[in-house]
Structure 1
Amino acid sequence: MRRSFNARPAWPRILLLALLLPASNALAADWTPAGESQRQDIGADLAYAKRTAARPSDGKQVSAHLAFFTSRAFRLEVIDLGAGPEPAYPTLESAFRSAGCVAGVNGGFFHPDRQPSGLVISKGRRINRFETAKLLSGVIYSDERGIRLVRRGRFQDHPHITALLQTGPYLVENARPVRGLSTADPRRRTFVATDWRGHWVIGATTSSLSLAELGEMLALPDVLTPWRVDRAINLDGGSSSGFFFERGADRAPVTLQPWKRVRNLLGICPR
């Protein structure tokens, strides 16, 4: 009987894959919580936290202001500040309080003339139009059914949407970091994330990081969020990054002011 020299046992290749997979996941798992351990009641409808993540491999640390909320108790509100020389409200604090929002961040991207990029809906009023630019890969919106975060191609427009921002890129999808996110251009970031089970968070980092780093960080439970992020999307960051959280009448609010004028804000208001 002639022996075939093409038939090789499969186990060496299986062993090689088993050795490579942990190495390929090492960078994605290289973020850990830093500072004091902070347990959070994930059943609370509203909570604030400032969390820091550390990467032991190079000592990098990233801190973020976070507003956790549930879709059963809150809805989204897009506050349009206008395109004129002066914004409709002088500060984030005054804008969010005027709209009855308990927390919020800066919103979507805009052009140098302060015209928004992509579709924006504020108080049911439509501003600009739906766009197909690669950056604007997703849509975050609020309607009578709750809050939705979907890919641009799966968005189904309807007249009952009260608040919407077209933005991007997607950072996390199906609980995994999106492939191909930029590893360059570190800057402050603003984002929205959800476990798709009614838990949501809006956040703004006070440290600079790449989109790829933010995606990796958000996809790891207990690093920035106490629950597993199913999907997350980027908002306008850099010098536009802003954050507000109302802590009650007897305490000063948490605020992070943008370094430049922005076109719109994304807030959360009680239902």
Structure 2
Amino acid sequence: MALSRSLLLPALLLWASGALADVWQPVRQSTPDGDGRELFYAKRTAVRQSDGKSLTAHLAVFASPAYRLKVIDLGGGESPKYASLDEAFRAEGCVAGANGGFFHPDWQPLGLVVSDAERTNGFARAKLLSGVVYSDGSGTHLMRRGQFRDHAGINALLQTGPYLVETGRSVRGLSTARPSRRTFIATDWRGHWALGATTSSVTLAELADVLASEGALTGWRVNRAINLDGGSSTGFFFAGGSEGASVVLSPWKRVRNLLGVVAR
């Protein structure tokens, strides 16, 4: 049945308002863009147009031709290998990093972990662990669990999830409950990467929407993004240098592993 013009216009306006409801926009930059640098720190804030809610995140932005990922295994014994997050990253030669994947109460990791080419666990089929992020001799990669093909030469890998953004769009069906601090890694799939941690409490669905909103957090359009272990595990590190002091956001509890950035 055809709609009359009087009915069609309100319907289109309602659809348009719904389409814009979850769009986020940048509101201020406390740190400059990278200006072509292959590694830089950024602190970004974005606001949702529909209700003014804001999200702030620390970002380590890097180019994969120059940098790769490194997984630091802190161990599952009574005491972690390093006393603090920043001590671990400095000792392992990382210029930046964040907390890594999920783990059991006894500190055993969930899913496959590769640290310095040594493997812990096998692939888990849990719905949560929907993807893998890893580095090998050809670069850094982020893909769905079902698309991953295991191979020699992987020196760092975390199985994690859920997927947040795929082909530039936020993934449907993500949780809209339990807002918390979040950690994530994102890429435009053209060599640009961002490892980030929010200081704001957001749901997984909100994090996906802000990452899928072009220009909200990164200077490039996010093609793929995946969630890391957030909440009380959320941590972030960026080494200081000539541009200023180090940035350290410590987890509220002990974690099993960390995801760092090192020069190739």
Contact conserved, 2:131 with 2:226, CA < 8 A, in 1? yes
Residues 1:159 and 1:25: Cα distance change in structure 2 (over 3 Å): same
* Equivalent in 13, 18, 22 of residue 16 of structure 2: 22
The amino acid across from 1:186 in the alignment is P
Answer with 1 or 2: which has the greater Rg.
1
Counterpart secondary structure, 1:196 = coil
Please list the CA deviations of residues 30-53 of structure 1 after superposition, one character each: whole Å capped at 9, or x if unmatched: x22123486523632001011111
Matches within 5 A, 1:127-166: 127-166=120-159
Q: Deviations over 1:219-256 (max 9, x none)?
A: 01221111100000000000000000012168431000
1:103 aligns with 2:96: yes
User: Does residue 169 of structure 2 align to residue 182 of structure 1?
Assistant: no
Q: CA deviation at 1:134?
A: 0.3
Q: Tell me the matched-pair count.
A: 263
CA distance in 1, matches of 2:156, 2:4: 55
Q: Which moved more, 1:38-47 or 1:129-138?
A: 38-47
Distance across 1 between alignment mates of 2:232 and 2:129: 19
Q: CA RMSD, aligned part only?
A: 1.9
Following superposition, the deviation at residue 124 of structure 1 comes to: 0.3
Cα offset for 1:55? 2.6
- Partner in structure 1 of residue 225 of structure 2: 232
Match of 1:80 in 2: 73
Unaligned stretches of 5+ in structure 2?
none
Distance in 2 between the 1:128 and 1:36 partners? Answer: 41
Q: Counterpart of 1:5?
A: none
State, as a whole percentage, how many aligned pairs show the same letter.
60
Q: 1:196 aligns with which of 189, 195, 200?
A: 189
The superposition leaves residues 146-165 of structure 1 with CA deviations (integer Å, 9 ceiling, x where unpaired) of 00000000000012100000
Structure 2 CA distance for aligned equivalents of residues 105 and 210 of structure 1: 19
Is the contact made by 1:42 and 1:226 (CA closer than 8 Å) also made in structure 2? no
2:38 is the counterpart of 1:41: no
What is the alpha-carbon distance in structure 1 between the residues aligned to residue 117 and residue 140 of structure 2? Answer: 15
Alignment check: 8 A CA contact 1:105 1:244 kept: yes
The residue aligned with 2:82 is: 89
- Give the CA deviation at 1:27: 1.6
- Does the residue aligned with 2:89 lie in a helix, a strand or coil? helix
Determine if the alignment matches structure 1 residue 266 to structure 2 residue 256. no
* Aligned 8 A contact 2:32 2:42 in 1: no
Aligned-partner SS, 1:68: strand
Q: Is the 8 A contact 2:184 2:196 kept in 1?
A: yes
What is residue 105 of structure 2 aligned with on the other side?
112
Tell me by how many angstroms 1:59 deviates.
3.2
Relative distance call for 1:186 and 1:248 in structure 2 (3 A) is same
Give the distance between the partners of 1:39 and 1:122, measured in 2 at CA. Answer: 33
Larger mean CA deviation between 219-228 and 243-252 belongs to 243-252
User: TM-score, normalized by length of structure 1?
Assistant: 0.91
